[in-house]
Structure formats: C-alpha cells, structure tokens
A and B are shown apart, each in its own frame.
Chain A
Amino acid sequence: MAEEKFEPKVVAFVCNWCTYTGADLAGTSRLKQEPNARLIRVPCTGRIDPVFVIKAFESGADGVLISGCHPGDCHYNTGNFHARRRWTFFKELLNFVGIDSTRLHFSWVSASEGKKWVDVVNGVIDTVREQGPFLKYKEIKEHDFQEIEN
C-alpha cells in the first residue's frame, strides 16, 4: 500500500459572534474550502485559555488557529484585546514548551468576511501542510512507553 499523503489537522478556536458567523457566511455563500479544519466555538476569544492550544497539539493537531472579532469590534467590548495581549506573551512560551510557535495562527475575521475566512483557513492548512506533521508529542509519548518497557 502506497504511503498516504499527509493531510494536516487544524483545530480552530473561534468566537461565536464574528468568526463563527463569518464561517457561517462562507457556508451560505457556498465558498469551497479545504476540509482539514475543526472549529470549536467559544463565546469570545477572551475565553480561550492558552492551555486549550497546548491540549490541541497534544491531541494530535498539526496546527491551531485562533480567530475572533477585529480589534475594537468585540461583542464584549474588550475580550479580544485581552486575548491579543495574552497571545503575544504565549507565543514565546510556546517555543519554550517545544511547540513550534509558527504552527499557531491568529486572525481577525468579522461576521461579514466569509471570503476572508476561507482564505485564512486555506492559508493555515497550506502552511501546516508544508511544515509537515507535528510529531513532538507523539515522539514523547512513544519515548515514555519505551522507558516504561525497559
């Protein structure tokens, strides 16, 4: 059997009001996109805990996308500002825990930007596809098992 082509797995955390609705708009506009992203809906990007991102990589994601309302347009006034500040710090820490921070993507996609959402999703998937599978966690796990066996 020929080796399967690598299909990246992307987990996207999106806010309910802007990006989720923008993704809905992409759907109602029938804008085709690659099927590799799985969306997890949260009320606001402010709700996204950095641990969610690590958990996603640990669960087998090759890339993570975070998307919410444009700065200044937050449904909850300032949630996305807190998120933006949080991610600025977190990106550095991500390298520290051994996750290539270029696998984590951010975007602001409003409820009216269906087309932009498609471009963002396809762009992230393409980038991750080029980077190849994220194996760090899998290797660690296998390594641990070997240690136990020995």
Chain B
Amino acid sequence: MKIGVFVCYCGENIGRTVDCAAVAKELSAYPGVAHAEAYKYMCSDPGQNLIKQAIKEKNLDAVVVGSCSPHMHEKTFRKACASAGVNPYMVEIANLREHCSWIHDDIPSATAKAIDLVRIAVEKVKYNEPLQTIQVPVTKRALVIGGGIAGIQSALDIANAGFPVVLVEKEPSIGGHMSQLSETFPTLDCSQCILTPRMVEVYQHSNITLLTYSEVEKVEGFIGNFKVTVRKKARSVKDEVCTGCGLCVQNCPIKKKAQSEFDESLTTRPAIYVPFPQAVPNIPVIDRSVCTYYKTGKCQMCKKVCGREAIDFEQQDTFLTFDIGAIIAATGYKLYKIDKKPEGHIYKGYGEYGYGELKDVIDGLQFERIASASGPTSGEILRPSDKKEPKKVVFVQCVGSRDESKGFSYCSKICCMYTAKHAMLYKHKVHDGEAYVFYMDIRSNGKGYDEFVRRAIEEDGVKYIRGRVSKIYEENGKYIVKGEDTIAGVRMEIDADMVVLATAMIPQPENSKVAQLLGIPYDKHGFMQEVHPKLRPVETSTGGIFLAGACHSPRDIPESVAMASAAAAKAMVLFGSDILEREPVVAKVEASTCAGCFYCQKVCAYSAIERKEIRDRQGNLIKVVAYVNAGLCQGCGTCNATCPSKSVELIGFRDEQIFAEIQSLSGF
C-alpha cells in the first residue's frame, strides 16, 4: 500500500509548536509511506491540489492528513481525495492542532507527539478498506398514529405537500381531546368551531387514507422502508355503505348501559353509537360488550331500520399493510384518574378528594363537557348530581402534578390556564356564583396567557388561594373543601356546591405499547422520548420516526400544532430525496464464525440485529446467526466489543484497525 502523509502548518497554529517539516521527514521513512510533505494551509485550494497531485504522481492509495480535528476538515479531505480517485474512506486525520499544538508549549515534545499521532493514523489506514455509502430507497408515504389535533396537523401538512398519508385513529372518530373542549384559552374560541373544519379536510383530502377504529399492529423495517400492519377493528357497520343517517342510533333500545366516552361518563350512549354529532367519519360503531344481539342473538333493531343494509353483525377485524417511509407518533394524553388506588398500586391517588364517590367532584375534561354548548347540559353550568346550578365552585390545581408522593413529579403545564378558563367560563355563565382556585404557583407563560389569568382574577373576580387542599367531604348537602391559604397563613374551609380537579396529564395507556412497536424509548411516566431535548426535540433515536403533541410531554394546543408541523417537516425532509445516503460505518456479522448466541442483539440500542437462517442446498437449517440491518445500525460498535467469538465487526473501526493503532505506540 502506498500512503501519502500531508502535514499542515495551519498558518502558525500548528507550525508554532510542532516542527511540521520534521514530522514529514520522519514519516517519509516510515514503512508504507510513499510520500510525505508539509504545507502552510492544507485545507486551502492549493493545499488540496497538492494532495490530488501527489495521489496521481505517486499513485497513492491511502492518505493521512496531519491537521486540525477530524470534526473540522475530515469531510474536506475525503472529498478532495475522492476527486483524485482515492476512496474517501481511505483517508485518516491526525489531530495535530486541537490535540497537540494548541495544548502544548514545548516544541520537541509536541513534535514527538505529533509524529506519534500521524503514525497512529498511518497504521490505521493500512487496515482501512474502500467503502461505499449505504444507499437506501425512500418510500414517500407517511403514517400518522393518532387523530387528535397533533395527528390531524401532521397529516394535513404532509398531504398538502403532495405526499400520501395514512392516518390511524383507535377511536371511531378523529378529533381527539380537542373535540371535547368547550372553549380554548386565551381567546375563548369555540374549540369545535376551529377543529371540525380540519377534521372534514382530513376526511376529504385525496392524499389521506383515514383509518378510524383502527390500531397499528406491527411495524417492521427501518427509515424510509417501514412495513406497517394496521388492524381495522370490526365496526359491525359497513363503512362503504353507511350514509350516516343515524336511524340505527335513534332506534337502538339500549340507552343506559354504556357510558359516553365523549361526555366523560356524564351521559350514556346507545350500543350502536357515533361518539359525537360532528364525528368524522360519521359512521356508527356497535359496542359489542353491551349490544343485545351479541348477548342473546335477538334484537337486530338497527339492522331492521337501516335502509342501506349497512349493519354487519358478523364483521371481522381486517388487516391492512402499507409501505411507509416515515412515521409520526401523535398518540396524545389522558387525564390521571385520581380516585383511591388499590394497595400496591404504583401511584397512591387522592382518595381524600372523594373523586369517583362524590358525584359533584369532577375533573377538568368533565367540566369542559358541562361548559360545552354540545355537552349534556347544552352549555349551562349544572352540576351532575341534581342538575342544579352550583353557586360556589372550587377549582383545585396540581392534582397529581408536581406531587411525587401521590402522583407525578412533572408539571402538567396546561392546568393553570384551563383552570383560569374554567373559572372564567363559570363566572360568565353564573353571574352570582363564586369561584375559588387553589393553586401552588401560576405558570402562565405563553402569548397572552398571563394577561388571561389576570383577567380571571381582576375582571371576573375569581378568588385565587395559594395553598393545597387536604380533604373534600360531604356535609349537609355541601362539599366541604378543607385547605390552607399559605399567603395569609390561615386554614380555609369552603362549603362548595361543586369541585373541579385539575388532574395531571398522563400519556395514553397504550403509549408504551406503541413505543415498543416502533422501537423508540419512553420515559418512566410513559411519555415518548426525543433524541435530543434541545436540538432534536421531535426526532426519536430510531431514524424516520418522529413525535408530535402530548405523547411526548404535557403541552397545549398551539404547542402540539407547532410540534406536529415540525414532525411533518422532518418527514418531508426525508421525502425530499429518492435515496437516503448513510455513512458506511455499520456493524457486519461474519456468519461462518457466528455461534448464534445473540449477545449482540441484547446490547443493541437500535434493534438492528436480526436473526438469519443459514440453510444448505437441500434447504436444511444449519444454524441461525446474527445479521445486521444496515438501515437501522447507527455504528456504535457495542456489539463488536460484546461478541465472544469476534464475529461482529464495526466497519471503519475493526479490531485489527484499532490494534494497529495501539501497536504503533510500542515505540513511543
């Protein structure tokens, strides 16, 4: 092998403390080195031309540049060498600036170190092999998991850019929690009025395949090349035939058995139901757990009234597979159910607040339904137990949030704002009512947010009390809220008619399952984990999978929408090219020596190690060995160091390369 050594003075940066000419001279006599020279600025055009010229004249097949850090100019020199016909991966950099001249004063010892550093690189490059970048084709179709506002936004952005999208929602309708909200802070816009046009846009978009009442079943493959299986749960209604007339829903004799999910159990719904009037798609679902037909084989009232013969009691789950290039997880949140938890439960719950026992102690989403014009009370503030107008309402913040002893350590972020909104909506509708808010701190950091809270306090007369509530119990038809005003330093007792608890936001219970399907990490609470909290907040450690909305952490609507658009942009960056180029530094298994212990699989953080069957010509199984999926491998090399039979090697950092580097030091 003919190696060229090029030592850069970097002006005076290296030259001041390292005798570059001496380094070049020393190396010119080193085994394998066919050419060595020093130059003022190796990265400049004349410097690069010098390298190119030497490659041609001396017929070099590897190059070592002694210069600045490889993080600085490795790409520059690789490119220069490639243009002169040397494979870019036959180039190594010795870091003579950051790791030598800049940190030492003594010229002889710095020069001796520089010689060592170049020698290390020369020994390594002797074992380098020409490599090609890995090219992976990209399927330009996105999968969005979750049809809340985040999923809707991502799907619309990608679809509007001209790429096909598959949107999967587990509930019968898209819309998510935003469709349940009454009005939104800080403008008090009607939530459904701003959301439903977008839901319809999704439904009608030619680039969007909408799969409601469906769940992702299996995800295989890697960035640009996922194969996703979706389970379309049996609706018992043929969606291609149904017109959404609603006759079946009206005629279903089961009226009281099932609680409405959409109204947060404040009302009941029939066995065949559409979650809410503006549902998209407007196609009913039969809840088989309460339907009489599935219990006794009788009734079939829905079938009788359906003029389109859309009811199909025998319908089965169907499975659809899609080729997908990028996946956006937007699985959203739910509220922490804070009733007393059974012994041994990881969270203790707030049994002392009487949630689940006292009928008029409700959570934030239930209050949203009560305040909503489409809710069970048509927007009138009436308490659930006796449908009377409550004259005194207590709102309790941070129930479960910022309270590690009973709930979670984190702040749920939106409760300060929605509690202010709730109190304000209440005061707007019940003019002679009193509203109290127990809070720990007011965290209203958003555009117009603090002004909104001040408006609740100053204009609408909501009474804010800084302190915690210790107990809520019923006495003489009133709910006694015992708490503390820590600013006045007094104990408080309020006889309320209704209590609204701002319970913590937690991830959907399926979040961890979805994360496992996708092979992405999630934190101890179940929220999905981004790859870098500052600079890559929507990307996950698995290439091609992005996060949007509250599946990542508690967040409000504008933040979810912004994150969803960011995730969509990341997916579209991927779709911007037909081929994905990747560094060839990936692990590779030598099948002949692999014993199939799969220790490598256990240490791989990217699920990049697969099982591969080795068969003889007759098709008999000889053995099962490890196989590296180069699309998933990120090139850390942990498998290489773990393999007991040394059958996995990290290309670019193979054992013999590193041994050569170490042994080059035997003289130092």
Contacts and interface: CB of A to CB of B under 8 A. Distances in A.
A71 interface: no
Scoring A30, A46, A51, A79 by chain B CB atoms within 10 A of each residue's CB, the highest score goes to A46
Contacts of A42: 637, 653, 658
A76 B532 CA distance: 11
A78 B636 CA distance: 10
Contact of A86 (B106, B521, B641, B661): B641
Interface in B481-499: none
A145 to B, nearest CB: 16
Interface stretch (B95-103, B175-183, B204-212, B335-343): B95-103
A77 B635 CA distance: 12
The SS class assigned to the A binding surface is mixed
A33 B98 contact: no
B319 to A, nearest CB: 32
A40 B98 contact: no
B653 A47 contact: yes
B103 A47 contact: no
B636 A46 contact: yes
B641 A24 contact: no
Contacts, number: 124
A39 B99 contact: yes
Interface in A16-61: 20-21, 23-24, 26-28, 30-33, 35, 38-44, 46-52, 55-56, 59-61
B98 A27 contact: yes
Interface residues of A, number: 42
Contacts of B663: 55, 59
B665 A9 contact: yes
A10 B554 CA distance: 48
Interface string A78-102: 1100110010000000000000000
A52 B662 contact: yes
B279 to A, nearest CB: 40
Contacts of B98: 23-24, 26-28
B650 A43 contact: yes
A97 B361 CA distance: 69
Nearest to A111: B71
A55 to B, nearest CB: 5
A115 B635 CA distance: 28
Contacts of B116: 38
B104 A35 contact: yes
A61 B665 contact: yes
A104 interface: no
A11 interface: yes
Scoring A27, A39, A61 by chain B CB atoms within 10 A of each residue's CB, the highest score goes to A27
Interface in B67-90: 69-71
Given A30-B103, A40-B120, A59 B662 contact: yes
A119 to B, nearest CB: 13
A82 B662 contact: no
A43 B637 contact: yes
B603 interface: yes
Contact of B605 (A24, A50, A77): A77
Contacts of A39: 95, 99
A74 B67 CA distance: 27
A49 B661 contact: no
B650 A47 contact: yes
B103 A76 contact: no
Contact of A46 (B100, B110, B603): B603
A30 B658 contact: no
A20 to B, nearest CB: 8
Contacts of B102: 27-28, 30
Nearest to B666: A59
Given A47-B653, A49-B640, A52-B658, A11 B71 contact: no
A49 B641 contact: yes
B109 interface: yes
A47 B604 CA distance: 12
Interface in B466-506: none
Given A59-B666, A77-B521, A82 B99 contact: no
A44 B662 contact: no
Given A27-B99, A55-B663, A46 B637 contact: yes
B605 A47 contact: no
Contacts of B106: 35
B665 A59 contact: yes
A93 to B, nearest CB: 15
Contacts of B637: 42-44, 46-47, 79
Contacts of A118: 103
Contacts of A20: 71
B662 A47 contact: no
B117 interface: yes
B661 A47 contact: no
Contacts of B521: 77
A118 to B, nearest CB: 8
Nearest to A59: B666
Nearest to B641: A49
B638 interface: yes
Contacts of B653: 42-43, 47
Given A28-B98, A49-B655, A33 B103 contact: yes
A76 B634 contact: yes
Interface in B632-657: 634-638, 640-642, 650, 653, 655
Contacts of B606: 76
B659 interface: yes
B300 interface: no
A40 B71 contact: no
Nearest to A75: B636
Contacts of A40: 120, 658, 661-662
Interface string A2-14: 0000000101000
A55 B103 CA distance: 27
B113 A35 contact: yes
Scoring B521, B642, B661, B663 by chain A CB atoms within 10 A of each residue's CB, the highest score goes to B661
Contacts of A47: 636-638, 640-641, 650, 653
B260 interface: no
A44 B638 contact: yes
Contacts of A31: 103
Contacts of B638: 44, 46-47, 76, 78-79, 82-83
Nearest to B661: A40
Contact of B99 (A11, A23, A78): A23
Report the 6 A-B pairs with minimum CB-CB distance, sorted nearest first. Answer: A27-B98, A47-B637, A46-B638, A76-B636, A44-B636, A77-B605
24 contacts: A9-B668, A20-B71, A24-B71, A27-B97, A31-B103, A32-B104, A35-B110, A38-B113, A38-B117, A39-B95, A43-B650, A46-B636, A47-B637, A47-B641, A48-B641, A52-B659, A59-B662, A60-B666, A60-B667, A60-B668, A76-B636, A76-B638, A79-B605, A83-B638
Interface of B: 69-71, 95, 97-100, 102-106, 109-110, 112-113, 116-117, 120, 521, 541, 585, 603, 605-606, 634-638, 640-642, 650, 653, 655, 658-659, 661-663, 665-668
Interface of A: 9, 11, 20-21, 23-24, 26-28, 30-33, 35, 38-44, 46-52, 55-56, 59-61, 75-79, 82-83, 86, 118
Given A23-B98, A49-B640, 12 more contacts: A20-B71, A38-B113, A41-B70, A43-B653, A44-B637, A55-B663, A56-B665, A60-B668, A77-B521, A77-B541, A78-B638, A79-B638
